[in-house]
Structure 1
Amino acid sequence: MEELNLEQPIEKVLNKLESWYEGVIAMLPNMAVAILVFILFLVLAKLSQKLFVKLFKKASKNKALESLFGTITYYTVLGIGLFIILGVLQLQTAVTSLLAGVGVIGLALGFAFQDIAANFVSGIILAFRKPYHIGDIVQVNGIMGTVARTNLRVTVLKTFQGQENYVPNKEVLANPIENFSILGERRIDLAVGVSYGDDLDKVEKLVSDTISELEGVIRKDDMIFDYEEFGSSSINFNIRFWIKFPNQPGFLAMRNKAIKAIKSAFDANDITIPFPIRTLDFGIKGGETLSQMRLNMKENSNETNES
């Protein structure tokens, strides 16, 4: 039986371990430098994050963006330190592979989460543009309500019916935004009709005076009264006036007060708000009136009885 020769494999293993040992000893200075670089960039990342947050607070009060960009700044500085450390350790191949891997992963994530990315970027843009604030009354994409809260993905609107609507930031940015709170005022447009027999100058003065005396009406010199058309049963006009908004009394309450005040003023001054009247005439058939038709029917009936 032939004896196994273990000397050669053992010698190879020992040589390999020796080469590794020598390599580690040779790399000790680089490793020490790498550790120092890591500590340096760890401190630098923390300082950069604090500095960015301090500067960001001067530009925006958005806490979500503040936290997001602070974290991005922190890990960006750490990432730069990581690449420098790999270079110090002479791991250029690892650096190249790492950069390629990051690029591929970023591309794949971009395609997989493009809607999320679009909402995310839109949220960042909205945070800087500030078209509305928490508590503002806005209308976005046909949805009207109070801005309850926002984040980097959605804007939450609480409607006047008590429901919450989650509007993606991409749609908010792509559609017109009506902000009813930013100017602090709103105009109420009321359409009213009076009868053809009323004095139009009297109606105009009465309505203008009535609205001007209402508590809550502002910019009284900018109030607009205009006759619009000759309607089927009335002469129609519009009265347009301004109120504070969204302060109380609100839009609906002021509109309600205005309608009641105009009706009371018309009643007190014998001014009529007409309503459509439809007259049905069953007597027209072949040029004969209803009474003539009845007479002809009676004569025909008598002739039939005689025969």
Structure 2
Amino acid sequence: MNYIEDLNETVGLLWEKLEAWGDQAVLILPNLLLAILLVILTFYVAGFVRNWAGKFGSRFSHSQALVNLFLTLLYTGILLVGFFFALSVLRLDKVVVSLLAGVGVVGLALGFAFKDIAANFISGIIIAVQRPFRVGDNIETNEYFGTIERISLRTIDIRQVTGEMVHLPNKTVFENPLTNFSIYGTRRIDLEVGISYAEDLERVQRVVTEALQEVKNRLVTRDIEVMFDAFGDSSINFKARFWVSYRREVDYVSARSDAIIRIKKAFDANDILIPFPIRTLDFGIKGGEKLNEQLRSVNASFKSGFPLGNNGQ
């Protein structure tokens, strides 16, 4: 009997609890419906705002990656605000505070765990805003030279002139010196040449200047400069400098090659000598005797039939 009485008492308590939950559910049902409606409306508003902002995003930034990031943050921010309002309607304010605290702790932990990824991401955002280069530019950075194929919020992809693809982290590019060869669309070529000491230097200047007039891609608005700058070991050295239009690396390479060909032909036609390196050998002769005297002594010994060496051996 005691067992049956305990069971009935337990069932009664459980029933009372269920009735209390049912009464609370009935009371909270309007708020629950309002919260669900608020969440649905939040999704609609967030999608509408994202699509509307996407139509005007390209007008403010030429980086599609940056536009997509902004739209994603905007969409996520609106959803979070809507969810927090829905929880407030359900009188779950403490849950909202706990969620915010949890998000802060998780964000701090992730920041330490993925600091390099975060640094690349932030560097990518700064690069996208400043735009020091764009896709198609020829750049040199971190000992790599090539054409930019792709710019993302994590890496910059560079195709080298020899064909390899290099993926450089944005942090590495942002923190190190970078040379952009395409920003102005022009580039100067400096050719180092040496001529014989016997040549007329002013005549050489005229010949070189005339030879470079028709070089490929040369900018006719910029003067050709032929400047002597050093007395070399076997030649007088000068630099021929001129400017060319520059879009691709082949523009620079082909113009430089054409200039070398034209200078060589002009020198051949005008009998201007490009000397070979000359070296003077100094033999240290024992006792200070001159080399020609030593040679005469050796020749005389051979002619007289006496072999060299001690005691005729």
- TM-score, normalised on structure 2? 0.90
Distance 2:168 2:66 in 1: 18
Residues 121, 170 of structure 2: 8 Å contact kept: yes
Residue 137 of structure 1 aligns with an amino acid whose one-letter code is: N
**Deviates further, 194-203 or 173-182:** 173-182
Q: Which residue of 2 aligns with 1:37?
A: 38
Residue 4 of structure 2 aligns with an amino acid whose one-letter code is: L
Distance 1:135 1:39 in 2: 44
Structure 1 residue 88 corresponds to structure 2 residue 89: yes
Q: Which residue of 2 aligns with 1:265?
A: 266
Q: Which residue of 1 aligns with 2:255?
A: 254
Instruction: State the shift of 1:87 in Å.
Output: 0.6
Alignment map for 1:268-279 (pairs within 5 Å): 268-279=269-280
Structure 1 residues 212 and 20, CA gap change in structure 2 (3 angstroms): same
Alignment map for 1:194-273 (pairs within 5 Å): 194-246=195-247, 250-273=251-274
Instruction: State the shift of 1:265 in Å.
Output: 0.5
Instruction: State the shift of 1:112 in Å.
Output: 0.8
Distance 2:174 2:295 in 1: 72
Structure 1 residues 254 and 11, CA gap change in structure 2 (3 angstroms): same
Deviations 1:117-140 (A, max 9, x none): 111111111112212221111111
Unpaired runs of at least 5, structure 2: none
Instruction: State the shift of 1:67 in Å.
Output: 2.3
Alignment map for 1:114-263 (pairs within 5 Å): 114-246=115-247, 250-263=251-264
Instruction: State the shift of 1:282 in Å.
Output: 4.0
Residues 148, 159 of structure 2: 8 Å contact kept: yes
Residues 138, 248 of structure 2: 8 Å contact kept: no
- Cα RMSD between the aligned structures? 2.3
Report how many residues are paired.
306
Structure 1 residue 97 corresponds to structure 2 residue 98: yes
Secondary structure, counterpart of 1:193 in structure 2: strand
Residue 131 of structure 1 aligns with an amino acid whose one-letter code is: P
Distance 2:308 2:236 in 1: 51
**Deviates further, 232-241 or 44-53:** 44-53
Structure 1 residues 304 and 160, CA gap change in structure 2 (3 angstroms): closer
Instruction: State the shift of 1:287 in Å.
Output: 2.0
Instruction: State the shift of 1:15 in Å.
Output: 1.3
Distance 1:225 1:254 in 2: 17
Residue 49 of structure 2 aligns with an amino acid whose one-letter code is: S
Secondary structure, counterpart of 1:103 in structure 2: helix
Residue 279 of structure 1 aligns with an amino acid whose one-letter code is: T
Structure 1 residues 220 and 240, CA gap change in structure 2 (3 angstroms): farther
Instruction: State the shift of 1:7 in Å.
Output: 2.4
Residues 139, 148 of structure 2: 8 Å contact kept: yes
- TM-score, normalised on structure 1? 0.92
Residues 122, 170 of structure 1: 8 Å contact kept: yes
